[in-house]
Structure 1
Amino acid sequence: MNLQTLFQDFNPSKFVVHTCLLIFTILFALKLDNYLTWSYWTIFTPIWIWKILVILGAIVGSYVWWRYPHFRLEGEAYIHYKSMLISLALHLILLMFELLVCDNLESKRHLWILVFIPLIFISIVSIAICIWAVKHDRSFELELFCAVNVLQFIFLALRLDEFIMWSWEVVFVPLWIVMCLSLVGVLYTIIFAAILLRTPEVNAQQRRSSINSALGYWFLVIPILVFQVLLADKLDDDIRISYIAVVSPLFVSFTTLILMSFSAKGGNKWWFAMRKDFCSFVLGACPVLQEYANIAYHSERRTNRVEMEQVEKNEKTVKRADLLKPIQPIVSIEMPD
């Protein structure tokens, strides 16, 4: 294991988001099962930490952007900074939705359709943001998730307000469609990885990368599908299990996303004004860590002392045998003319 190789493709933004979502999912399930008596404002603490880091990162990045104008000339600095501002705007609107959700869970004084208005607005705006991100080669995972689930958000709000009395399996129809498309993508990655394994022209690194992608998407999509089935049955009273059991498949998905963040690359370099990859930024800020980043650990089998002595004894035996070999003179016979 080479520490520098491990962290040079590390995406800190995805790591923070997925870790906070994992902790929040556990706390929220325990709250629904009445194992925790905390208020929902406390249960949402991982979400608040996520949003605070986003806001602080944008403030520091904006300060450096306006304080040092020459930094704007670095490569695609303007695209990175604009992308950060767009992401900040989406997170602020998402924060408004989360505040309304938390308040409504505590007081139940709002209609859910009003609570979901910020999320529906994000979903509509995300369509244009996805188009902009494709043109400028930027990642758009949150935006894509919101854009494809706008109908799902409307159905959820109407069902929670009991304006529609459909079963939850019907309410989740838009999400079923998305999951079916995701399964097609998973099957494609598995077939593609199998083809690369049987292609001799492909090198080992490409094969390993395709296998890791196939496994990653498999452990990401399948647990989400299982969670969706369990949740629909739980809400329709078809099964009687705890909410922590319902969300347990999500633990696999979030763990997969956290592990994938170590090879996600990318990321906006203007969060907290890093202006470089996370690994380079950390090593530059803490030069002492450079010594540890240059350490590599190998899992090769080491030879113990007894084996070393046996090898040396064998080498001496071979050398002694070579010395005892008889010397055979080379006789040259010349034929007379």
Structure 2
Amino acid sequence: MNLQTLFQDFNPSKFVVHTCLLIFTILFALKLDDYVSWSFWTVFTPIWVWKVLVIMGATVGSYVWWRYPHFRLEGEAYVHYKSMLISLALHLILLMFELLVCDKLESARHLWILVFIPLIFISIVSIAVCIWAVKHDRSFELELFCAVNVLQFIFLALRLDGFISWSWEVVFVPLWIVMCLSLVGVLYTIIFAAILLRTPEVSAQQRRSSFHSAIGYTFLVIPILVFQVLLADKLDDDIRLSYTAVVSPLFISFITLILMSFSAKGGNKWWFGMRKDFCSFVLGACPLLQEYANIAYHSERRTNGVELQPQVEHKEKTSNQFQVSTSRAQFGAKKPQFNSVSVHGLTETRP
């Protein structure tokens, strides 16, 4: 197992976010079905962990930024740091929305339209953030999700407060539109992957990458669409499923996102002041882990199970010694020279 190959494209931010959302979805469904009697403040614990990590990461990164000014000259340090601050601001506003949701679910002393005000504000600001991210080649998944669903958030708030009496299938119309566009994207990735598989000029790595993308987006979008259909029918009392069964397709989507985080690349290098990729930071902080990652095993065995490695090393050593002896006998009285053959032989004979 090569740890460096496994984690070289790992995105820790996406891994933390999707893992926390998966655990929160499970706890929230169990709470709605009365399988657990915890308060909503406890059910939201994965969300609080996510936000605490964001605030701690930005605080440590800001300390390193101001404490060591020479680090600001490293490549696109200003773009990374500014991106971290923008993400922190959006997460703080999102935290305000989550606090209001918990208070509303526990005490019911606010209107839902007031609860959704921070989320609607994030959706409007996210449009400008997406434009800035495109100009500076930064990722913007959360911002894009909020920007395209601003109308959906307004409909949800009005429906929960009873200002509109539409069925939930109508309330989810903005989300239906987004899901239809997502299905078109999934169909495109499947067709593109099929074309590349039948194109001999394309390298095997490109074929593999397109095939994995098609599978990943399929297992991401289809379960979300199934969940949306089940949720609308559940809220309209058209089916008798529990909330745990309704959200079960989301588990597939979150597991897919967690697996895709190992090949997501990118990520901001200033969280917690790392200033480097997550893999390089971990291997540098843990020397023992780095030493383990540099070990490679080559197991060549006979049919009867006897290892060939010692014999191969003995043959290589004998061959190298024979080359050195031949070189010395050939040049006889001449002044001996340590050419590349002898140095190569000495190198190869080392274990």
Superposed pair shares fold, TM > 0.5: yes
Partner of 2:37: 37
State the alpha-carbon separation in 1 of the partners of residues 148 and 44 from structure 2: 25
Partner of 1:202: 202
State the alpha-carbon separation in 1 of the partners of residues 241 and 126 from structure 2: 36
Partner of 2:135: 135
Q: Determine if the alignment matches structure 1 residue 305 to structure 2 residue 281.
A: no
TM-score normalized by structure 1? 0.89
CA apart distance, 1:291: 2.1
- Larger relative contact order (Cα-Cα within 8 Å, sequence gap ≥ 6): 1
Q: Is the 8 A contact 1:3 1:296 kept in 2?
A: no
CA apart distance, 1:294: 2.6
Q: Determine if the alignment matches structure 1 residue 225 to structure 2 residue 225.
A: yes
Segments of 4+ moved more than 4 angstroms:
295-298, 300-304, 306-309
Q: Is the 8 A contact 2:11 2:261 kept in 1?
A: yes
State the alpha-carbon separation in 1 of the partners of residues 84 and 307 from structure 2: 58
Partner of 1:239: 239
Partner of 1:118: 118
Q: Is the 8 A contact 1:3 1:295 kept in 2?
A: no
Once structures 1 and 2 are overlaid, which stretch shifts more, 44-53 or 3-12? Answer: 3-12
Partner of 1:328: none
Q: Which amino acid aligns with 1:110?
A: H
Q: 1:214/1:303 Cα in 2 relative to 1: closer, same or farther (>3 Å)?
A: farther
Partner of 2:57: 57
State the alpha-carbon separation in 2 of the partners of residues 292 and 87 from structure 1: 35
Q: Determine if the alignment matches structure 1 residue 9 to structure 2 residue 5.
A: no
Partner of 1:98: 98
State the alpha-carbon separation in 2 of the partners of residues 17 and 149 from structure 1: 19
**How many residue pairs align between the two structures?**
308
State the alpha-carbon separation in 1 of the partners of residues 7 and 243 from structure 2: 35
**1:277-292 equivalence runs, <5 A:** 277-292=277-292
User: Residues 238-279 of structure 1, C-alpha deviation per residue, up to 9 Å, x if partnerless?
Assistant: 000110000000000000000000000000000000000000
Q: Which amino acid aligns with 2:221?
A: V
Q: Is the 8 A contact 2:124 2:147 kept in 1?
A: yes
Q: Is the 8 A contact 2:93 2:119 kept in 1?
A: yes
Q: Which amino acid aligns with 2:236?
A: D
Partner of 1:313: none
State the alpha-carbon separation in 2 of the partners of residues 206 and 23 from structure 1: 34
TM-score normalized by structure 2? 0.85
State the alpha-carbon separation in 2 of the partners of residues 301 and 202 from structure 1: 32
Q: Is the 8 A contact 2:219 2:252 kept in 1?
A: yes
Instruction: Indicate the RMSD between aligned Cα atoms, in angstroms.
Output: 1.6
Q: Is the 8 A contact 1:27 1:43 kept in 2?
A: yes
State the alpha-carbon separation in 2 of the partners of residues 199 and 43 from structure 1: 50
Q: 1:303/1:19 Cα in 2 relative to 1: closer, same or farther (>3 Å)?
A: farther
Q: 1:308/1:130 Cα in 2 relative to 1: closer, same or farther (>3 Å)?
A: closer
CA apart distance, 1:223: 0.2
Q: Which amino acid aligns with 2:304?
A: R
Q: 1:304/1:137 Cα in 2 relative to 1: closer, same or farther (>3 Å)?
A: same
User: Residues 126-165 of structure 1, C-alpha deviation per residue, up to 9 Å, x if partnerless?
Assistant: 0000000000000000000000000000000000001000
Q: Is the 8 A contact 1:2 1:297 kept in 2?
A: no
Q: Is the 8 A contact 1:126 1:143 kept in 2?
A: yes
Partner of 1:78: 78
CA apart distance, 1:295: 4.3
CA apart distance, 1:103: 0.4
Q: Is the 8 A contact 2:301 2:307 kept in 1?
A: no
What SS is found at the alignment partner of 1:237? Answer: coil
CA apart distance, 1:2: 2.5
User: Residues 283-325 of structure 1, C-alpha deviation per residue, up to 9 Å, x if partnerless?
Assistant: 1111110122234579x9965426999xxxxxxxxxxxxxxxx
Partner of 1:326: none
- Aligned-pair identity (%): 89
CA apart distance, 1:3: 1.9
User: Residues 26-80 of structure 1, C-alpha deviation per residue, up to 9 Å, x if partnerless?
Assistant: 0000000000000000000000000000000000000010010000000000000
Q: Which amino acid aligns with 2:27?
A: L
Q: Any stretches of 5+ residues in structure 2 without a counterpart? A: 309-351
CA apart distance, 1:4: 1.2
Once structures 1 and 2 are overlaid, which stretch shifts more, 282-291 or 170-179? Answer: 282-291
Once structures 1 and 2 are overlaid, which stretch shifts more, 2-11 or 212-221? Answer: 2-11
What SS is found at the alignment partner of 2:287? Answer: coil
